[in-house]
Amino acid sequence: MAMSGWSCLVTGAGGFLGQRIVHLLVQEQGLQEIRILDKVFQPGVKEEFSKLQNKTKLTMLEGDILDEQCLNTACQGVSVVIHTACVIDVTGVIHRDTIIDVNLRGTQLLLQACVQASVLIFIYTSSVEVAGPNSYKEIIRNGHEAEHHESTWSAPYPYSKKLAEKSVLAANGYTLKNGGTLYTCALRPMYIYGEGSKFLAQMINNSLKNKGILISNGKFSIVNPVYVGNVAWAHILATRALRDPKKAPSIRGQFYYISDDTPHQSYDNLNYTLSQKWGLCLDPRPSLPLPLQYWLSFLLEVVSFLLTPIYKYRPPFNRHLVTISNSVFTFSYKKAQQDLGYEPLFSWEEAKQRTMEWIGSLVEQHRETLKTKTQ
């Protein structure tokens, strides 16, 4: 496969991860065009992308992942597709059908568009949640790809991501319209943190409204979160590897866990480590025992179900959320290291520093807002 004159489409390019991938892609050798697709680009994102226009042409496309005509147009003349677009929801805010439509049907439509446009490579951003955890009692430490871990949850996010990943890996070897062959792989990142994370921003803002107390929801977990810059870097390396005739045969149709050297810790400890400099602290009150949290969430789900005909009640937490937030569930990146040549681009210290500085800007914004309101 030629190393020059190639082009790449990134879906979800305006998102937390997608933006990082685009920033790294512009440095790739021989890349002539990056098409960046998202439903809506925020003004700040458009401005940021316009600064990247250099030797590589950047084409911004606003469109829906469920719009077949949009996908067909976006894929025409493209060599590589990096598919990050998805809906993430673990609390039940977004309707189940919407999540499954975007995450599963959108992926399947994009694969069809790739076949019609004779796209050679498809890289899918999956999730560690396709592997579980299925029970907070189950302990997985330094899991790897040779072990069979599969989510059994019917919750829409893990369910849709699992089926979408299966569709992507099953599409490896498809015959393209021009007679060529489609090659695919999937990356399963751990929980992604870093500057720009909507989850982190929401957690910080909620804590600031709660007198600087971090709301505990993952005290009993042991996980290995991954910095967003390292996840983006893994996508670049996957692109390089699938375009390399020597490396590609062992990567096609495979999935890879993507973690880094962030210390294994609880979600609560991660949040505290990243925000303590700004005066935020852990909730000193004791947490409910984990089995009690689980069965309480079950009762709330029952209440929600019974009220459905007359009232839409959304519980503050559910069994799936309690489980994923409080499990011992860590995975190794050795296979990605071996096959993709993956090494974290950012150290834990650098990732921590960058994230802490961003959190500091959120705290400052909050203080400025309070000042304005009191004047």
Q: Which residues contact 12 (CB under 8 A, 6 or more apart)?
A: 18, 37, 38, 83, 84, 85, 86, 125
- Measured at the CA of 269, the angle between CA 263 and CA 274, to 5 degrees, comes to 85
Q: Distance between CA 257 and CA 251 in Å, rounded?
A: 13
Tokens of 216: 């505990």
Q: Distance between CA 51 and CA 292 in Å, rounded?
A: 52
Q: Distance between CA 373 and CA 375 in Å, rounded?
A: 6
Question: Residue written as tokens 């226009």?
Answer: 53
Active-site residue (options: 157, 159, 193, 267): 157
Is 225 in contact with 270 (CB distance < 8 Å)? Answer: yes
Beta bridge partners of 20: none
DSSP state of 155: S
Q: Which residues contact 358 (CB under 8 A, 6 or more apart)?
A: 194, 195, 196
Q: Give residue 220's identity as a one-letter amino acid code.
A: F
Q: Which residues contact 262 (CB under 8 A, 6 or more apart)?
A: 193, 224, 225, 226, 227, 270, 348, 351
157 among known catalytic residues: yes
146 to 173, 186, 332, 335: CA distances (angstroms): 21, 15, 11, 9
Tokens of 282: 């852990």
Which residues are catalytic, by number? 157
